[in-house]
Amino acid sequence: MLLDVDRLFGSLNGRLFDLSHDLTPSMPVYGPHPPYSITLHRRHGDSHPTPRAGGSSFANEQLVTSTHVATHIDALGHFSRDGRLHGGCPADQMETPNGLTSLDAAEIPPLVAHAVLLDVAGHRGVDNLEAADPVTGDELETVASGLDLLPGDVVLIRTGWAKFWDDPARFNNAGRGWPGPEESAARWLIDRRVSAAGTDTPAFECIPSPGDSVHALLLVDNAIYIMENLNLEALAASGARSFTFIALPLPIVGATGSPLRPIAIV
């Protein structure tokens, strides 16, 4: 991977923003995904065959989770169109009891890129968009005015939905849907050849969808990675619109996605 170091780091003042949410048993989980749980497997002071030096002890835990909870990134194999994954391979030929044989989280590269924040909620002058409120390509074009956006960059879209993170019933929205990009916005991202795009909702795209599946357009048709459940509130409040973006997916072989801790350096 060749990086334009001057473009990435040349004008930074060193402010760092963590764009992730904490993983907790009480966090909202999108209905189709398995729930998250954490259990202490070994506790401090549990018996050990051999006494440990200095009276020391250790603890560890067991996690049960989907890779699509909290802040995460979708692998290309997360979605299919007409039974085929990106590149045209039948999905059923890529699926095994141990996960996908290709297009999995282990194939997602580290993301180190120039990125822009498109604060749609701020542009509209509202705290947050409403359920099922679509974001169009024309609106992204307006919000992106004056920004330096090149192929390979990352685009983050703020709807304001992260403000509901600590209220799982509101965040999950009881089936009423979420705001987000619709088909024309997806095509705007495709036309600009971004490497990845993310929002602050659990679905990324507008749900219910008013057009073609945005996930299929980006993941299947164009190999553009999707990030969901980003926490963009502090970054937006700072006024930052352009920054260096770093996110390292976990190389989980067979997985359709990965937990993610992305950061913005302004």
In a domain, residue 184? The reply is yes
In a domain, residue 34? The reply is no
In a domain, residue 203? The reply is yes
Range of the domain at 129: 5-22+69-265
Q: What are the structure tokens assigned to 51, written together?
A: 């006494």
pLDDT 10s digits, 172-209: 987 799 999 999 999 999 999 999 999 999 999 999 99
In a domain, residue 192? The reply is yes
Per DSSP, the residues of 195-243 read SEEEESSSSSS-BS-SSS-HHIIIIIHH--EEEES---HHHHHTT--EE
pLDDT of residue 252: 98
In a domain, residue 57? The reply is no
pLDDT 10s digits, 102-158: 999 999 999 999 999 999 999 999 999 999 999 999 999 999 999 999 999 999 999
pLDDT of residue 9: 72
In a domain, residue 234? The reply is yes
236/204 Cα distance (integer angstroms): 18
In a domain, residue 42? The reply is no
pLDDT of residue 11: 64
CATH code for the domain of 103: 3.50.30.50
In a domain, residue 29? The reply is no
Q: Is the pLDDT of residue 89 over 80?
A: yes
Q: Per the structure, how many domains does the chain have?
A: 1
Question: 3-state class of 6 per DSSP?
Answer: helix
pLDDT of residue 175: 78
The band of 51, judged by pLDDT with boundaries at 50, 70 and 90, is confident
The band of 2, judged by pLDDT with boundaries at 50, 70 and 90, is low
Indicate the burial class of 6 (C-beta count within 10 angstroms; 0-12, 13-18, 19 or more): exposed
